[in-house]
Amino acid sequence: MGDSKQPNHHFVLVHGLGHGAWCWYKLTTLLRSAGHRATAIDLSASGIHPTIFRDIHNFDEYAKPLIDFLVSLPHDDRVILVGHSFGGLSLALAMERFPNKISLAVFLTAFMPDTASPPAHVINEDYTLATTLVRVGSFFQEELTNLPAFSMGRYGSVDRAFVICGEDKIIPRDYQIWMLENYAVEVVKEIEEADHMAMLSKPKELFELLMEIAH
């Protein structure tokens, strides 16, 4: 008789600007209780990462902890990336660099670039204004505007899913839908009553969706 047990996955959780690994604490508890591995990353100058924001000179340096983590994985390990908000751009960079190490990328009400426009194309002005109140920092707007689009052969080759948060006031539902219309996604789910911080306000619902998407 075959083994019907669901496979265990390794989820790597990537926060948005002004947050840190701490924002995933409810979700990591649920994932680990279900037998999965969960790693929440502090990007540079975020959470308890010791770097000072003014010492970060470009987007690569900001995303370096995620990139370093993926480099450290055994060559045959594949992870599920989950990126929130501005963390979607860190996901995209990781997908471009290491498509073979990522089995699935989940954009949780996150900026999701396409393969035709510079990465900054998806950052809306309202988000830029709102998050300047959270923490002094840079959106690397000029750099991301001048970077080439992510490639179809690498970034575009990774399976993607998008989780819409229906009550998000930072990245409104209409804007999330625009990103999906701009760049089609294989799997789209929605938590209708979730605000921008779904991992804190609707952790159980998010966990259940991730289980559905991963399996």
Catalytic residues: 85, 168, 196
* CB neighbour class for 189 (10 Å; exposed up to 12, middle 13-18, buried from 19): middle
DSSP state for residue 171 in the 8-state scheme: S
Under a CB-based contact definition with an 8 Å cutoff, are residues 32 and 13 in contact?
Answer: no
Residue 22: CB partners within 8 Å, gap ≥ 6?
40, 47
Q: Which amino acid is at 26?
A: K
| CA distances for 68 relative to 94, 151, 182, 197, 198, angstroms | 10, 21, 30, 26, 27
| Angle, helix 87-97 to helix 59-72, in steps of 10 degrees | 50
Residue 188 β-bridge partners: 162
Phi and psi at 110, nearest 5°, equal -120, 155
C-beta separation of 123 from 144 below 8 A: yes
